[in-house]
Amino acid sequence: MFERNKPYHRRNDIHVPFGGNAQSGIAPCADHPYVFLFTAPSGEDFGYQDGWLSETQFSYTGEGQVGDMEMVRGNRAIKDHGEEERELHLFEKTDRSGYYKYLGEFRYVSHQIQQGKDGGDKLRSQIVFTLELVPSDGDAAQ
């Protein structure tokens, strides 16, 4: 479906064919078994601190820009994706407008509640997910 490390236009290549909220960092699809996750450096302005923990694990901050994060909507979609038989696909913003690099398919491992600042610089509870890269057939050659 997507090739790791290849850039895709978010609207044309991801949301038009598959759906999901084009404005949200967590975009479950209504008509396909996918949950699209998007990360960008600008997220740090809202207290998000996403990034690689190792070669196979990624730390992903849940959704919600103001106030305490709750295990609802997109956050619940991440946690429950396995039970709901949905795939998590993670994309990272590139320097090119509208384009995101595909980091791969991931699975939920765990989550923690941490204290951090929101977009209004107020302290709040954040949900921070640990996701694990799902090996693909082409990974051995990379």
Both structure tokens of 45:
């302005």
Residue 26 lies in a domain: yes
Task: Assess whether pLDDT exceeds 50 at residue 107.
Answer: yes
Overall domain count for the chain: 1
Residue 139 lies in a domain: no
| 84-87 contacts, C-beta under 8 A, 24 or more apart | 84/33, 85/33, 86/28, 86/33, 86/34, 86/35, 87/33, 87/34, 87/35
Task: Assess whether pLDDT exceeds 70 at residue 139.
Answer: no
Alpha helices in the chain, H assignment, sequence order: 16-18, 73-79
Give this prediction's pTM: 0.91
More confident residue, 44 or 69: 69
pLDDT tens for each residue of 51-73: 999 999 999 999 988 889 999 99
Task: Determine phi and psi for 86, rounding to 5 degrees.
Answer: -115, 145
Q: What percent of the chain has a predicted confidence (pLDDT) above 90?
A: 80
Please give the residue range of the domain that contains residue 104: 7-134
* DSSP SS3 for 141: helix
What's the CATH code of the domain at 110? 2.30.280.10
More confident residue, 102 or 1: 102
